[in-house]
């Protein structure tokens, strides 16, 4: 395997005593995100500051001189530092030898380059919004764990994605942070001259400069491009300011920087990828830039160059929802790509045709999914059902496909197990399966060994994680209602609102309308009878954000929040504001049941339910996305069947009736079995969920599948 190195400039702001210099190595490698030992070490440095910032660079920058001296004289801390840094170094050196090195020892080509518009590694680096970013982050982590030759490309959003508060009327308020990159676990990339790397991207009448920040994710480097530079015009500096900016022209500028700028960054560093992976259509302009470079290198025509470049390109589409497949008006594409057409010696209509969904409709908009399909040698969806749906939508773009051939295949998503498993469940599995169980999820005996764990041990570990979720929820509600001006008596009442002994259902995700967050409220009286029972109480926790431009999604949040204030639901239904990775970890690790009610077949995959199953939680879901593959009565429930109708109101009615039936007749009775005490049948389902679903729906499995089915075949082309 060819080695590649990303040179960086040493951060000048952080001064660490020489005896503690291992901390520098640790805090600038996001490996600490999934290392419990590293988290404990940071907590020992300064517990309150660590809990507040959750960012080790910020933690160390604010440390007083006397505290450095105390740490050096603390043998427990120094021993912990030595152990954690030793773990990191062994990991980085490939000890034990990772899967890719063992499986493909003769691989000698370049890295697999992975382009994504958002990455979610940790809440301290808020350049993600939801499922796509979390999936991208988990993909990087498992690529690192498995030892792939891998490099990521994204954008460094100075203001990231918005932080959410809910006002007294239930209206979502948006607040954007202003990151100081020097106080984040990022390092500036250096060029061949030893200075900050600069790349240029052609814009109408000018060039826009970008620099790159390296986020080191274990063994996997990820380059994040940043246009906030004094060399750029004032109107160009904010291009990489906000994730999913509302303005269409600014969004186009971002995607040009990602695709074109990303390719030029790798070229400037002398890195020649063997595979180019476009994760969703946001990075599709990569295909045009590669075509231009191919034509210049080979002296071939535009179409021949595109055909050559597409051979080692992979495209993953993540949504069948129209809004997720971005389009731009043709006049906007003309504005930004006329110079490109001139350089390639082609007509502008030829460029526009690359983004056309239908060849016979020249006036339709420029679609990034269509562009990505035309410039990729393989296309995949993110679950088996989504692959079928996407193939039905896009197969007309396939050339010379036989009736039984597919344009769109599938690799079902997964989750990074070390990131999402709760501490008590992790400790329990280590005790019974060995400290290396995370590296052996797909071992032949994994399932049997999980099922052999005593019921009491599984229940106890789950209850501890559930108690932590209850405590977090109370704290967040206390903060929220105090801000709303609630009185002391009302705030004190929150202590009685939640109980770890009550069946707890979670619903947390992006509040897009097709996800139907309010479906459970369709029959208010029926729901009231379920959740307000004194004998079998149920509590439901909601969380999630709606994009600032998504008014219907924000209306859903308001509808649900207002309902939580009603005396009918008081203490039983709550909305937790500012959903992020930290809130997500508490929820997926602590709930008893995860509720998922998308309008089939619009949920491409979904991964939050996988995280719940990993922690012994059960899923109650529409048969959509991953649940079509994961569902079994032994570890969860299906809402309705696998049929759907185009009459949305009728479908909602049918699905709501099916949901109430599951809750009334199956799910709630299973939790509150007669005789009291831990429910044996429920615990059997918990163990089966871990045993069956944790290996199948991990990114360890997913990344292996990408490697064997897509990356390596593409690299040979």
Strands 618-622 and 593-596: parallel
Q: How many residues does the chain have?
A: 717
Has residue 352 got a pLDDT over 60?
yes
pLDDT tens-digit map of 211-246: 999 999 999 999 999 999 999 999 999 999 999 999
Task: Say yes or no: do domains 274-416+698-717 and 421-697 share a fold.
Answer: yes
pLDDT tens-digit map of 621-637: 999 999 999 999 999 99
Per-residue pLDDT at 241: 97
How does residue 675 score in pLDDT terms, banded at 50, 70 and 90? low
Q: Is the model more confident about 441 or about 458? A: 458
Q: How far apart are the first and last CA of the chain?
A: 17
Average of per-residue pLDDT values in the chain: 94
The predicted model gives 37-44 an average pLDDT of 97
Per-residue pLDDT at 126: 94
How does residue 399 score in pLDDT terms, banded at 50, 70 and 90? confident
Query: What DSSP letter does each residue of 281-318 carry, written as one string?
Result: GGGTHHHHHHHHHHHHHHT--HHHHHHHHHTTEEEE--
394 CB-near residues (< 8 Å, 6+ apart):
317, 369, 370, 373, 379, 407, 408
Has residue 347 got a pLDDT over 60?
yes
Per-residue pLDDT at 418: 97
Burial 189-210, CB ≥16 within 10 A → b, else e: bbeeeeeebbbebbbeeeebbb
Has residue 531 got a pLDDT over 80?
yes
Has residue 317 got a pLDDT over 60?
yes
Has residue 19 got a pLDDT over 80?
yes
Pick the CATH number of 421-697 from 3.40.50.2300, 3.30.420.40, 3.40.50.2000, 3.30.2130.30: 3.40.50.2000
Residue 99, both tokens: 């899967």
Per-residue pLDDT at 3: 61
Has residue 42 got a pLDDT over 60?
yes
- Residue 540 CA to residue 571 CA, distance in Å, equals 9
- Please say whether the beta carbons of 602 and 509 come within 8 A: no
How does residue 4 score in pLDDT terms, banded at 50, 70 and 90? confident
- Please say whether the beta carbons of 699 and 141 come within 8 A: yes
Q: Is the bond preceding 343 in cis, omega lying within 30 degrees of 0? A: no
- Residue 87 CA to residue 107 CA, distance in Å, equals 26
pLDDT tens-digit map of 678-713: 899 999 999 999 999 999 999 999 999 999 999 999
The predicted model gives 64-86 an average pLDDT of 96
Per-residue pLDDT at 494: 85
Has residue 321 got a pLDDT over 80?
no
Has residue 174 got a pLDDT over 90?
yes
Per-residue pLDDT at 2: 56
Q: Taking CA 271 as the corner, what is the angle to CA 266 and CA 274, rounded to the nearest 5 degrees?
A: 105
The predicted model gives 540-550 an average pLDDT of 95
465 CB-near residues (< 8 Å, 6+ apart):
422, 423, 424, 425, 589, 590, 615
Residue 31, both tokens: 């490996």
Q: Please check whether the domain covering 274-416+698-717 is classified as CATH 1.20.1560.10.
A: no
612 membership: H or E segment, kind and range: helix 608-614
Per-residue pLDDT at 322: 67
Residue with tokens 């929150």: 494
- Residue 281 CA to residue 14 CA, distance in Å, equals 38
How does residue 662 score in pLDDT terms, banded at 50, 70 and 90? very high
Domain spans of the chain, in order of start: 18-92, 274-416+698-717, 421-697
The predicted model gives 116-130 an average pLDDT of 96
Q: Of 33-47, 173-187, 335-349, 436-450, which gets the smallest average pLDDT?
A: 436-450
User: Beta partners for 503?
Assistant: 538
Has residue 433 got a pLDDT over 80?
yes
Per-residue pLDDT at 717: 85
The predicted model gives 535-542 an average pLDDT of 95
How does residue 495 score in pLDDT terms, banded at 50, 70 and 90? confident
Residue 629, both tokens: 């593959």
Q: What is the pTM of this model?
A: 0.97
Per-residue pLDDT at 232: 98
Per-residue pLDDT at 444: 84
């Amino acid at each position: 395997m060819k080695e590649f190195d990303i040179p960086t400039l040493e951060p000048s702001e952080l001064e660490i005593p020489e005896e503690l210099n291992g901390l520098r190595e640790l805090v600038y490698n996001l490996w600490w995100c999934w290392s419990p030992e590293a988290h404990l070490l940071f907590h020992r440095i300064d517990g309150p500051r660590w809990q507040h910032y959750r960012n080790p660079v910020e933690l160390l920058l604010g440390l007083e001189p006397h505290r450095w001296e105390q740490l050096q004289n603390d043998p427990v801390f120094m021993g912990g530092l030595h152990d954690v840094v030793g773990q990191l170094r062994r990991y980085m050196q490939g000890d034990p030898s990772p899967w890719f090195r063992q499986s493909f020892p003769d691989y000698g080509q370049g890295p697999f380059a992975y382009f994504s518009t958002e990455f979610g590694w940790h809440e301290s680096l808020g350049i993600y919004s939801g499922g796509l970013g979390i999936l991208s982050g988990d993909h990087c982590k498992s690529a690192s764990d498995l030892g792939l030759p891998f490099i990521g490309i994204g954008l460094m959003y100075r203001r990231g994605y918005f932080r959410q508060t809910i006002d007294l009327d239930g209206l979502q308020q948006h607040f954007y942070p202003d990151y100081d990159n020097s106080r984040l676990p990022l390092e500036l990339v250096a060029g061949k001259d030893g200075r900050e790397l600069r790349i240029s991207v052609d814009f109408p009448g000018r060039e826009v400069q970008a620099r790159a920040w390296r986020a080191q994710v274990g063994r996997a480097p990820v380059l994040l491009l940043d246009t906030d530079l004094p060399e750029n015009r004032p109107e160009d500096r904010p291009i990489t300011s906000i994730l999913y900016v509302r303005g269409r022209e600014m969004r186009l500028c971002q995607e040009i920087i990602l695709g074109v700028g990303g390719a030029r960054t790798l070229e400037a560093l002398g890195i020649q990828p063997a595979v180019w992976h476009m994760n969703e259509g946001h990075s599709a302009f990569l295909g045009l830039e590669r075509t231009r470079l191919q034509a210049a290198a080979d002296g071939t025509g535009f179409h021949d160059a595109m055909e050559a470049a597409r051979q080692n390109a992979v495209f993953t589409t993540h949504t069948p929802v129209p809004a997720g497949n971005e389009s731009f008006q043709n006049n906007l594409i003309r504005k930004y790509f006329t110079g490109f057409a001139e350089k390639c010696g082609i007509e502008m209509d030829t460029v526009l045709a690359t983004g056309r969904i239908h060849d016979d409709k020249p006036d339709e908009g420029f679609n990034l999914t269509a562009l990505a399909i035309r410039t990729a040698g393989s296309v995949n969806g993110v679950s088996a059902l989504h692959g079928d749906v996407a193939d039905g939508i896009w197969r007309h773009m396939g050339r010379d496909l036989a009736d039984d051939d597919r344009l769109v295949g599938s690799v079902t998503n997964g989750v990074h197990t070390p990131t999402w498993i709760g501490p008590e469940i992790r400790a329990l599995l280590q005790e019974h399966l060995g400290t290396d169980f995370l590296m052996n999820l797909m071992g032949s005996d994994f399932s049997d060994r999980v099922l052999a764990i005593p019921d009491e041990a599984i229940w106890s570990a789950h209850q501890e994680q559930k108690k932590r979720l209850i405590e977090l929820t109370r704290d967040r509600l206390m903060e929220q209602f105090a801000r709303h001006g609630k009185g002391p008596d009302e705030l004190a009442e929150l202590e009685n609102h939640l109980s770890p002994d009550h069946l707890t259902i979670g619903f947390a995700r992006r509040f897009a309308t097709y996800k139907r967050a309010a479906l459970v409220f369709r029959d208010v009286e029926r729901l009231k009878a379920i959740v307000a029972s004194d004998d079998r109480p149920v509590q439901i926790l909601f969380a999630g954000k709606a994009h600032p431009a998504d008014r219907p999604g924000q209306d859903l949040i308001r509808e649900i929040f207002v309902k939580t204030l009603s005396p009918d639901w008081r203490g039983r239904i709550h909305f937790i504001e500012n959903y992020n990775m930290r809130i997500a970890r508490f929820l997926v690790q602590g709930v008893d049941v995860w509720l998922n009610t998308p309008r089939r077949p619009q949920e491409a995959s979904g991964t939050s339910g996988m995280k719940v199953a990993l922690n012994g939680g059960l899923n109650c879901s529409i048969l959509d996305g991953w649940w079509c593959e994961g569902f079994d009565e032994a570890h969860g429930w299906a809402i309705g069947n696998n049929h759907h109708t185009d009459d949305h109101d009728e479908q909602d009615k049918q699905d709501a009736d099916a949901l109430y039936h599951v809750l009334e007749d199956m799910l709630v009775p299973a939790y509150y079995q007669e005789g009291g005490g831990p429910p044996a049948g429920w615990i059997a389902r918990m163990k089966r969920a871990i045993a069956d679903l944790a290996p199948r729906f991990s990114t360890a499995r997913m990344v292996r599948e990408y490697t064997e089915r897509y990356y390596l075949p593409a690299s040979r082309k």
